[in-house]
Amino acid sequence: MADSYEIRRFRAADKGTPDYAHGTDWIQAVGFGFHDTRRNDEFVDKIMAMYRQDDRELTGVYQTAHVAPHSLGANVPVATFGTLRKDMNVGYGRQLRTHMVTAVTVRGTHRRQGILRRMMTEDLAAAKADGLAVAALTASEGSIYGRFGYGVATFERSIKVDTGARFRLRHAATGRVEIADRKVLLDLAPEVFERVHRHTPGSIVRQDAYRQTVSGVCGRDGAEDEAIKCALHYDASGSVDGYVSYKFAGWDTKPYTIELVDLVAATNSAYLELWQFLGSIDLIERVSWAEAPADDPLAWALEDPRCIESSDHRDMLWLRVLDTGKTLAARRYSADGALILGISDALGLAGGTFRVEVSGGEANVTEAPAGSEADLSLDVADLGSVYLGAVCPVTLKAAGLITEHTPGAALKARLMFAVERPAHCLTHF
């Protein structure tokens, strides 16, 4: 990256403080980078308040030398990079503090000069120095982040569900569903999500924006989103244990469709009963969901699984291991045994040879003595991929990414890294 740029880091700040103006310019630059309409002041205030809730760190890259006359001023960053830290469920309810990377943009007129590379490498090193074991992101394109050691760890897909006559679920309801005012989700959504988070490997605690969006309090343009509707699921004792936030796609969309904004259910019954409700809405023939789990009990509970038309099966959460020993030790494992993993890392953060010895599901992780032969050799990106049990080491071996030195070691790793239920991340950031 040329000397004509300077990197500045600051926190989302209160209105009236000097960093507030920096933050405002930064937010507008992010919007520009993602081709959004320019945000009005009121919306920027809301975004900043949410950023403060998350205690985000904002990184901006600024021009220090010549700024072309009439172009955006030196106060507007040419590149942005945001981070926040929340817990990730790494299986069996274990939590690992995770460095979440978001809002990565480089202005088109300054691209391909190494600005992203510098922001990313400095940020990952700083997160490691702070004691964080793992970083995560959700990617706009699949080809950007592997070079920095990120690997795909969970997946999602888009579904369209035919809720016409053939929609029938093999499930006897144990609770009930009621319509509610969308705004109740401002408080209820985080409570229900917390329960889901505790039992879902791959789940990351949500940023403040989620409750605002799913309740329609802050829509995509910053205004109240009056189109949002909400239904709650109550368990047999009358407690709310699930919700769905959704919109009607309008009378011009045929078949008549409901689009899910968010569906969060803390029990298996709540999940299926929310689907029973969605399948029962009069005049509606289709429910579409752009963020459905890849491994979905709905498909198995339906009498006719072909009610689901699935498309765009895609990467969701990407993990970047920063400290291999800490990351491996944070997990509980599904099978006992010992494995020696040889990890390579082009950025020099997490490489080495590690011995994982699991007994009763608990791991003892040590650096292997010099000269030890690894059972498996893999890149740090592939370690990120297999970590939550959603990517099979045997498949990565077949793809030529993992090298197996001890016959059967990839299958052994698959059994050891398996988690108690399908890994799924419900948090986009």
Ligand X SMILES: CC(=O)SCCNC(=O)CCNC(=O)[C@H](O)C(C)(C)COP(=O)(O)OP(=O)(O)OC[C@H]1O[C@@H](n2cnc3c(N)ncnc32)[C@H](O)[C@@H]1OP(=O)(O)O
Is the dihedral angle over the CA atoms 239, 241, 247, 253 positive or is it negative? negative
Nearer to ligand X, 62 or 417 (CB): 62
**Other C-beta atoms lying within 10 Å of the C-beta of residue 69:** 5
Nearer to ligand X, 209 or 299 (CB): 209
Give the shortest CB-306-to-ligand X separation in angstroms.
34
Give the shortest CB-106-to-ligand X separation in angstroms.
4
Nearer to ligand X, 51 or 333 (CB): 51
Give the shortest CB-411-to-ligand X separation in angstroms.
33
Is residue 314 within 8 A of residue 156, CB to CB? The reply is yes
**Angle in degrees, 0-180, between the axes of helices 18-33 and 41-54, rounded to the nearest 10:** 100
Q: Which of 341, 305, 16, 25 is nearest to 167 (CA)?
A: 305
User: Rounded to an integer, what distance in angstroms lies between the CA atom of residue 381 and that of residue 345?
Assistant: 8
Nearer to ligand X, 126 or 144 (CB): 144
Give the shortest CB-6-to-ligand X separation in angstroms.
15
Give the shortest CB-4-to-ligand X separation in angstroms.
14
Give the shortest CB-110-to-ligand X separation in angstroms.
7
Give the shortest CB-210-to-ligand X separation in angstroms.
17
User: Rounded to an integer, what distance in angstroms lies between the CA atom of residue 366 and that of residue 320?
Assistant: 20
| Residues at the contact surface with ligand X, assessed by CB under 6 A | 33, 101-106, 111-117, 137, 139-141, 143-144, 147
Nearer to ligand X, 143 or 237 (CB): 143
* Amino acid found at 244: V
Nearer to ligand X, 152 or 260 (CB): 152
Nearer to ligand X, 113 or 267 (CB): 113
User: Rounded to an integer, what distance in angstroms lies between the CA atom of residue 109 and that of residue 176?
Assistant: 55
